[in-house]
Structure 1
Amino acid sequence: MSLLVISDLTLRIAGRTLLDNADLTVEPGRRVGLLGRNGAGKSTLLAAIAGDIAPDGGEIRLSSRARMARIRQEAPSGPANLLQTVLDGDIERAGLLAEAEVATDPARLADVHERLLAIGADSAPARAATILAGLGFDAEAQTRAVSEFSGGWRMRVALATALFLQPDLLLLDEPTNHLDLEATMWLENWLARFAGAALIVSHDRNLLDRAVHAIAHLDHGKLSLTPGGYDEFVRIRTEQALQQNRAAERIAQRRAHMQSFVDRFRAKATKARQAQARIKALEKLDHIESVVEDAPTRFAFPEPAQLAPPMLTMERVDAGYDGRAILRGLTLRMDMEDRIALLGANGNGKSTFAKLVAGRLAPMRGTVAAARQLRVGYFAQHQADELLPDESPIAHMARALPDATPTVLRSQLARFGLDADRANTASRDLSGGEKARLLLALATRDAPQLLILDEPTNHLDIDAREALVRALAEFPGAVLLISHDAHLVELVADRLWLVGDGTVQPFEGDMADYRAWLGERARIASRTAEGPGGTQAAGSQAATQAGRQPGAPPAGEKAERRDRAEQRRVLAPVRKRAQDAERRLAQLAAERSLLEARLADPASYASGRSAEIIAINTRLSVIERAAGDAEEQWLLAEQELEAANTEC
């Protein structure tokens, strides 16, 4: 019997149809990833399943007696500690325990204890503590009041409560947005072992590949189910699109052939009957639309001026707040070709280090020396709270670039997909993904040589995340990345730095090594936490057993990083040629449009203006030749770039 059945579902918000007679079935124990572009209606669908909003048509049926759980919209608060807050989330258990304290009827008391035994009430505290620990709360933190934590950490408590309930159906809406990389990896493993069914809205490719059985794609109001994770979804969808395009081409060819016969022989009496037969056949031909993909998402960072090395150095630096050092003894260096990702749990000092590099936090001790002309672009999700709700992106950009022309302002916003309509929309009406794009545009307005990106993919859909990866691959400057998105880290970072125990040190390995290191450290910590040395000894032993001593790089890894940096350096002139040619084509196209408009104006042909018409036509001929040359240069540069990427 199916657990969840959605039939002919129609959902509308503010007059806009999000789901139009959509269907979906979720079987017991099946975990389904819900995928779709920003604004497609994924969160609205979860709200309808949870009963928060009523459908405009169709039906949502949940199996009788099935338990459903979801993350609450509001973060929990109050004086109760974290462990008790999670335990109180199980209303049935809390009610039975309360009744067991006051019940006097022996039969009822026996029923209560039997039910408590059936739901595992005795083991519940240990299970809740394990979930909280996996989401980053140590034993001491679990005893503190919820109200002592920030909003992001309290949302982790809400997630822990939903997981603790062990429902038949678990609804999760972007569960990794408030997690660090370590907690995200733990959640992937937890979901992979979860026995119930789940419907998970996420743009995290790793999560969708590791933790779900199928992908439900919400597109143009319809839901389609594809078996497997995200990579399999992409493969199947691409194959279906190719088949549909081929079928459409075949039908179009048959239609053109028949139409040609009709056009040639319709007027000939001897062929009239055959022509009529062809017309009837044309009417019966299937109408198969070729697949027209949505316009691809594109990001483009401004190209920075080159800096001589070193870009930035630190010597014996301590950093922290209010006289308390969080990071100590930092001696590090960054150069233009560096692509560095910071690893380590939230609270270890990653954001502190980012602010130190950005110049937003002064060192307590030691020296930070930056190149004289260094410009830093700093992006952090909390900056969205600083946007003025009544002002548009163009107004925010005008304040940031007071001397820029409107064309320059719009061009900078367009680099990150904010078109003319969105550029004039009040920021309160922008989606989370659109606000992230605005923050990226603001952070890079001065063509910085160093990009510091603190969780840049929160609220970005998968297409936008891939656009960010492509833009970073083409960016010739340095990148310092903090992200819970392992896929982004793997594609962008050449070097990994581990932030923990008050310091920042290179982690000599890749993300697979880091996963193994975390897993081994957790296993050893669970066995040795009570012994002398505790976590520190466990972490050291885990690093050794994971096959890598700190500071001992694997053979060839440094050379590989140097090769990638060298390739970016070598390809930089080629990218510049392509960009220059693209800009030249745009300029020529704009000039051509103006000249053609003048030719289309009857006033241009007034008496005495023939010389002007000749000059315009002569200039148009020059433009056509120049556009051909620019297009050829662009094609050659793109072919070089494509060949270089293929070789890699």
Structure 2
Amino acid sequence: MLQINDLTFDAWGRRFFDHATVSIPVGAHVGLVGRNGVGKSTLFKLILDQLHAGDGEIGYPKNARIASVDQEHPATPISLLDTVLAADEERERLTNELETADPEHLGEIYARLYEIGADRAPSRASEILSGLGFSNADLSRPMAEFSGGWRMRVALAAALFAEPDLLLLDEPTNYLDLEGALWLESRLKKYPHTAVIISHDREILNNSCDHILHLADGKLTIYTGGYDSFERQREEKARLQEANKAKVDAQRAHLQAFVDRFRAKASKATQAQSRLKMLQKLPPVSSVVAEHVAPFILPSPERPLAPPLLRLEGVSAGYDETPILKHLNLRLDLDDRIGLLGVNGAGKSTFAKLVAGALKPQSGEFTRSARLKVGWFHQHQIEALNPKDTPLDIIRTVMPEASEASRRARLAQYGLGHQKVETTVDSLSGGERARLLLNLVALEAPHLLILDEPTNHLDIDSRRALLDALNEYEGAVILITHDRSLMELVADRLWLASDGTIAPFDGDMDDYAKFVIDRAKQAGKAPTQVRAAEPVEVPKPPPPPKTKVPTGTARRRAESAEAALARATAAVTELDKALTDPKVFSEDPAKAAELGRKREQAQVALEKAEQEWLDAVEAYEAVKVDA
């Protein structure tokens, strides 16, 4: 499906691809992985011809449909459902042709619409939108009413609905909640064409991908299987490379020792020269360089607090006297690891603010230890950073008494070396900013860590480092994340935010994934706000005329054929009249497809009646001439 041959690309003072070659088979679901900044998004831009390679070529079948999701959908007055339906360009084109098509072409158009499943399109679009977090009430809302993050989801929904031959997705879960990520994982697993997905989500790479494409050192290497299989194959490859290097180094040392010992002896000079040539022919084998990932430093609280850390009894919380959450009856102890589930808007962030002390309860009893220290990480902290500050400026505010050397040493522990500590925030990558803030919120060894989407900018190795740090941390954790793997490996209890409250969820992540997918399927089947079409009375086409020659006289045969032709013509006219109503297809595609099939049958009957009438008239005229 996609062939990359000898690709070389230089930009911004560095080489991204160095004679890279790879072939991606038709129908493969490929996870594109590599460290942050290595060039994964750049590869997508090269495939889409937004950037131009210095050498080599990128090829795919002629007329292949390619789609990516690299920007939010524009804010238009068009409804959400119609926006997604318009992504199927063939269906949209055929629908528009209905308004101006000649009657004789209507049957062909409806037949093609039926063939591509146009009658099922609204239901399929609704299911996709529901899976990505939209409600049935949203389907008729104009695009202009949705925020940028939700319009990114619309762009993803449109790409999935259109089902291009090659689908390119760059970190699609970054603007989804866990529920959307779970649904997307299931959807991508069944995607009918080729897909290449840049992702740091281990579950998607394991469950939705059958190949892993690894980008490192300007080269592309493809592996079969999911991410776990890729890691095993890569480790085995590294082991074999190290073993081969040890073998070659030993052979080189042995040959060099012989040359050094006998080069000066005339009797051994020939053997020494021979071994010197062998030495020169030994292939160089490089050492495997392990990629270092700085650890996260999450110090545990020095003194545990008496349980419970928190107790909520009948608590309500919200904004401007409007409660978002009600009837909260929950308890949190020092050893609790809570995974907080729920769709966007269900109140997860409100609950985080309440627990962190940034929001006061409106009613109920909220008991909280007076000595409780909370470390709270959320995405708004990254957005609120002053773009002109440096990591050194930021750490000075949280370590005012420390020496400059101590501050620099602490930043180095966080993975920000001397070349980064005086770099402005707007020049740091999203992962570097997230890493800095995650470490800083835990600087004072809090009793409770609240982590709201901590992995959005972290690559897969950094996510593993965060997992290791959380498993070593001995305080309580409330985790909100779309990373299923992190949720499964950190949380030992699940709470679900829904219907205006938060309560324990009875089940594990597999149960919740099934719940999310089943809910999306049911929502896709639910009635939308599209008005049902009025029933259309369609005259039945006449049965095909008998093909046997009439036994009466030539004149009676001609008259009978003329009457059959008139009936067939009337049937076609009535069907054309029904089909030219634009509401028929827009409001009831299934009915329109049925009318199209009947119109085709009536046209066949009309053609046969015309031929029978011509034959009968010619026979009658011949009889008259003979007479």
TM-score computed with the length of structure 1 as normaliser: 0.78
Identify which of 168, 172, 186 aligns with 2:169.
Answer: 172
**Alignment partner of 1:420: what SS?**
coil
Q: How far apart, in 2, do the equivalents of 1:431 and 1:20 lie?
A: 24
Q: Does 1:337 align with 2:335?
A: yes
Q: Does 1:238 align with 2:235?
A: yes
Tell me which residue corresponds to 1:454. Answer: 452
Tell me which residue corresponds to 2:16. Answer: 18
Tell me which residue corresponds to 1:247. Answer: 244
Tell me which residue corresponds to 1:89. Answer: 87
State whether residues 136 and 523 of structure 2, in contact with CA within 8 Å, keep that contact through their aligned partners in structure 1: no
How far the C-alpha of 1:89 sits from its partner, in A, is: 2.6
Q: How far apart, in 2, do the equivalents of 1:113 and 1:527 lie?
A: 24
State whether residues 215 and 227 of structure 1, in contact with CA within 8 Å, keep that contact through their aligned partners in structure 2: yes
Q: How far apart, in 2, do the equivalents of 1:529 and 1:99 lie?
A: 27
**Alignment partner of 2:169: what SS?**
strand
Q: AA paired with 1:135?
A: L
Tell me which residue corresponds to 1:124. Answer: 121
Tell me which residue corresponds to 2:312. Answer: 314
- Cα distance per residue 1:159-212 (max 9 Å; x no partner): 101101111110100111111111111111111111111011111111011111
**Pair 1:522–1:122, CA change in 2 (3 A):** closer
In the TM superposition, 1:7-406 aligns within 5 A as 7-103=5-101, 105-106=102-103, 109=106, 112-309=109-306, 310-406=308-404
Q: How far apart, in 2, do the equivalents of 1:425 and 1:116 lie?
A: 57
Q: How far apart, in 2, do the equivalents of 1:498 and 1:52 lie?
A: 43
How far the C-alpha of 1:521 sits from its partner, in A, is: 5.2
Q: How far apart, in 2, do the equivalents of 1:519 and 1:93 lie?
A: 27
How far the C-alpha of 1:237 sits from its partner, in A, is: 0.8
State whether residues 376 and 449 of structure 1, in contact with CA within 8 Å, keep that contact through their aligned partners in structure 2: yes
- Cα distance per residue 1:272-309 (max 9 Å; x no partner): 33222221111111211121212234222134322322
Q: How far apart, in 2, do the equivalents of 1:522 and 1:239 lie?
A: 41
Tell me which residue corresponds to 2:609. Answer: none
Q: How far apart, in 2, do the equivalents of 1:524 and 1:97 lie?
A: 27
State whether residues 415 and 441 of structure 1, in contact with CA within 8 Å, keep that contact through their aligned partners in structure 2: no
State whether residues 76 and 155 of structure 1, in contact with CA within 8 Å, keep that contact through their aligned partners in structure 2: no
Percent identity reads 51
Q: How far apart, in 2, do the equivalents of 1:367 and 1:408 lie?
A: 43
How far the C-alpha of 1:75 sits from its partner, in A, is: 4.0
Q: AA paired with 1:416?
A: Y
Of the two structures, which has the highest relative contact order with CA contacts closer than 8 Å and spacing of 6 or more?
Answer: 2
Tell me which residue corresponds to 2:509. Answer: 511
Q: How far apart, in 1, do the equivalents of 2:384 and 2:361 lie?
A: 25
Q: CA RMSD in A?
A: 2.1
**Alignment partner of 1:43: what SS?**
helix
How far the C-alpha of 1:228 sits from its partner, in A, is: 0.6
State whether residues 72 and 149 of structure 2, in contact with CA within 8 Å, keep that contact through their aligned partners in structure 1: no
State whether residues 412 and 441 of structure 1, in contact with CA within 8 Å, keep that contact through their aligned partners in structure 2: no
Q: How far apart, in 1, do the equivalents of 2:81 and 2:514 lie?
A: 28
Tell me which residue corresponds to 1:467. Answer: 465
Q: AA paired with 2:425?
A: S
Q: How far apart, in 2, do the equivalents of 1:75 and 1:407 lie?
A: 48
How far the C-alpha of 1:271 sits from its partner, in A, is: 2.9
State whether residues 377 and 444 of structure 1, in contact with CA within 8 Å, keep that contact through their aligned partners in structure 2: yes
Q: AA paired with 2:118?
A: A
**Pair 1:208–1:400, CA change in 2 (3 A):** same
Q: AA paired with 2:458?
A: L
Count of residues in Structure 1 that have an aligned counterpart in Structure 2:
527
Q: How far apart, in 1, do the equivalents of 2:300 and 2:126 lie?
A: 49
Q: How far apart, in 1, do the equivalents of 2:9 and 2:435 lie?
A: 28
- Cα distance per residue 1:245-291 (max 9 Å; x no partner): 10110111111112222223333333333222221111111211121
State whether residues 127 and 525 of structure 2, in contact with CA within 8 Å, keep that contact through their aligned partners in structure 1: no
Tell me which residue corresponds to 1:476. Answer: 474
TM-score computed with the length of structure 2 as normaliser: 0.80
**Alignment partner of 1:465: what SS?**
helix
Tell me which residue corresponds to 1:633. Answer: none
Q: How far apart, in 2, do the equivalents of 1:368 and 1:12 lie?
A: 58
**Pair 1:101–1:45, CA change in 2 (3 A):** same
Give 1 or 2 for the bigger CA radius of gyration: 2
Q: AA paired with 2:173?
A: T
